[in-house]
Amino acid sequence: MAWMLGVLATVEMMKLKIQIPTFSIFCLLLMLAASPSFSQPPEMGMRRWRGEGPCWRASDLDLSQEQRKSLELIQQAFFREAQVLRAQLFTKRLELRELLVGSAARVESIRAKNLEIIELQSKHEEKAVEYLIKVRNLLAPDQLQKWCPEQEFPAFRQMMRGPGSTGSMQPRKVFPPPE
């Protein structure tokens, strides 16, 4: 009986020896297939929507000293205005949440609060477009050819994320352990 267990163990070890190289080869092929999709460095410009050469954010263009100072002032003004709007949006979203979970809230109040949020979002988008227009007016014609307005906002989105802009509006509730 013991020799049978030894034979079974040997057979299982042989199966495992076959499976491990097969799995390793599969993983290697998977990594090789996925690597070209990550091969472009992040500092490379996006391809333009018209199929032209790469394009860049305004700050990555060859700007004069005067243009750089103006761009910084435009960015600072936009960030200040956007920060105020984000804070107001956050507050309105919390108020909406309270209305939604409150049993005494009327449907009209919920809808009105939602409209306030939509208005603030619209103001924020207007500010973004105004920012882009100011940057556009700052750039020379040859710089405009290399500029991607859509490149301006990925960096802004990361900087503009305020509390509650993603995820839940309040911390998760931790329940006490069962007694």
Q: For residues 152 and 57, what is the distance between their CA atoms, to the nearest angstrom?
A: 5
Q: For residues 74 and 72, what is the distance between their CA atoms, to the nearest angstrom?
A: 5
pTM score, whole prediction: 0.57
Average pLDDT score over residue span 103-116: 94
Is residue 131 within 8 A of residue 156, CB to CB? The reply is: no
What pLDDT score does 83 carry? 94
What pLDDT score does 86 carry? 94
Measured CA distances, 31 to 19, 35, 42, 176 (Å) = 18, 6, 20, 44
CATH number for domain 79-160, candidates 1.20.120, 1.10.20, 1.10.510, 4.10.800: 1.20.120
Q: For residues 153 and 148, what is the distance between their CA atoms, to the nearest angstrom?
A: 10
Q: For residues 18 and 58, what is the distance between their CA atoms, to the nearest angstrom?
A: 56
Boundaries of every domain in the chain? 79-160
> What confidence tens digit (pLDDT) does each residue in 1-25 have?
665 556 556 666 666 565 555 555 5
Structure tokens belonging to residue 54: 């790469």
Q: For residues 84 and 160, what is the distance between their CA atoms, to the nearest angstrom?
A: 11
Is residue 32 within 8 A of residue 127, CB to CB? The reply is: no
> What confidence tens digit (pLDDT) does each residue in 37-72 have?
444 444 444 444 555 667 888 888 889 999 999 999
